[in-house]
A and B are shown apart, each in its own frame.
Chain A
Amino acid sequence: MTTRWNRKDLLGLRELSAGEINLVLETADAFKQVGTREIKKVPALRGKTLVNFFVEPSTRTRTSFELAALRLSADIINISAEASSLTKGETLKDTARNLEALHADILVIRHSSAGAPQFLAERVSSSVINAGDGAHEHPTQGLLDVYTIRERRGRIEGLNVAIVGDILFSRVARSNIFALTKLGARVTLVGPSTLVPREFEKFGVTVSHDLESVLPQADVVNLLRIQHERQRNEYFPGLGEYIRLFGLTRERAKLLKPDCLIMHPGPINRGVEIDSELADGAQSVILDQVTNGLAVRMAVLYLCGGIAA
């Protein structure tokens, strides 16, 4: 482990090197072990203050960051969009400066606009961690996904990973693409042509509109959530048609290799992206993803928050 971490912020995985990604994964190994102790708490970030600033609603990511911070002994404040002065017309920059004036050391931000975390990172001295910004990136999700694959398969290099669903609007897909390709996986994006345009090939991935031809080679199938709540009608074929063409049904799952991992960033729409039985089946690592998310976020907070200010 010769790579050093010298980033105060984690904004995306696109700018990280393979060595930096591996450093996060190895650090997460150490923090995962903490979760098995009688006292699941270490003093690594004692005295530091973390602000969870979620302008877009999220329960699982926010909770995961919150628990990660608590296990590192940091103090934590949660601020949601409704509670913040953003609704009163305060600009993002002013909000950030106010948070900084409270001596927040780490700012975890979820925002509907791509680039909001970077905007803040350039203006505040606190560490800024991107917890999902628009359709741009969701770096900790990408890291926990590769962590889970590495844990189960022992490596990333050479694996065939299929990412299925709404790629165009998915920050999870983008962060996964960057992490997986840097670590040497072969990535295939699958979905309707409206949601999986050919332009994605510039990231060094394969694009397919035929799920059944992709499944037999896959070592990992990562099913993205169909976000009906923000789905634009003109892109989306309709739920019934989506399930018929791209849903992982029991019938289709028979095409998978027996050791193929089934992943989903959650929350699952049972019966849409994935058949309910498969989500709970032996190939599913969906709950491992949740457990690993905590270890990966502890690692990220430790690395970004621990470097000398």
Chain B
Amino acid sequence: MTDSRTHPESSILLMDAAALGRALRRIAHEVIERNPELRQVVLAGIPSRGNEIARRIAGIISGIEKIDLPLGVIDVAMHRDDVGRRAELPVVQPSSLPLPLEDRTVIIVDDVLFTGRTVRAALDAITSFGRPAKIQLAVLIDRGHRELPIRADYVGKNVPTAPDERVRLRLGEAEEGVWLVRQS
């Protein structure tokens, strides 16, 4: 999801800042609804955007329920199944999850759900910390093209895409939003 200034490209706005905020608020409400034992929930972001999304959802939940959910970080780089196949080695970062995980519900939070391989790696990473009661998945964008039997429990927006298109997400910048980028 890098800027490519050398190739001409066209982009379509999928969500502006207001729509993004509404989607996150809806996800927050759904998390509260589906988890009666909200205090057992951990929001675990996949770096780097998943962390920011998890932080925002936690902020909204805190505003509604006055409960501060613990945040975690799941680094998936060392759990990927394609080391040596990619031109560039993924940068690894320390993971952190509140322990023990037993009896907790871990919600994996990521920006875009695509092939499902990142989520598979995240599931692997989480189970190496222990055995949570439940694992759920929250994503801002589901763009389809799954290569594994994985689905999200909370989705900000479903976006039909072509495999060669990219989803660009801007968070924490002047102009926030989600765009579909097409190389032309």
Q: Which residues of A contact B (CB under 8 A)?
A: 1, 4-5, 27, 29-34, 37-46, 48, 72, 302-303, 305-309
Give chain B residues whose Cβ lies under 8 Å from the Cβ of A31: 78, 92
Cα distance, A89 to B35, chains bound together (Å): 69
Q: Is the CB of A32 within 8 A of B91?
A: no
Q: Is the CB of B78 within 8 A of A44?
A: yes
Q: Is the interface of B mostly helix, strand, loop or mixed?
A: loop
Give chain B residues whose Cβ lies under 8 Å from the Cβ of A309: 84
Residue from the list B78, B87, B127, B130 in contact with A30, Cβ < 8 A: B78
Q: Is the CB of B128 within 8 A of A306?
A: no
Cα distance, A46 to B82, chains bound together (Å): 10
Q: Is the interface of A mostly helix, strand, loop or mixed?
A: loop
Give chain A residues whose Cβ lies under 8 Å from the Cβ of B62: none
**Is the C-beta of B88 less than 8 angstroms from some C-beta in chain A?**
yes
Which chain A residue lies CB-closest to B124? A43
Q: Is the CB of A308 within 8 A of B129?
A: no
Interface size for B (C-beta < 8 A) is 25
Residue from the list A32, A40, A45, A308 in contact with B86, Cβ < 8 A: A308
Known contacts A4-B88, A33-B94, A308-B86; A38 and B128 CB within 8 A of each other: yes
**Is the C-beta of B89 less than 8 angstroms from some C-beta in chain A?**
yes
Q: Is the CB of A308 within 8 A of B87?
A: yes
Within 8 A of A (CB), among B75-117: 75, 77-81, 83-89, 91-96
Cα distance, A72 to B84, chains bound together (Å): 14
* A32 vs chain B, min Cβ distance (A): 7
Give chain B residues whose Cβ lies under 8 Å from the Cβ of A29: 93-94
Q: Is the CB of B128 within 8 A of A1?
A: no
Residue from the list B75, B79, B84, B127 in contact with A307, Cβ < 8 A: B84
Q: Is the CB of B129 within 8 A of A302?
A: no
* B130 vs chain A, min Cβ distance (A): 5
* B86 vs chain A, min Cβ distance (A): 7
* B175 vs chain A, min Cβ distance (A): 24
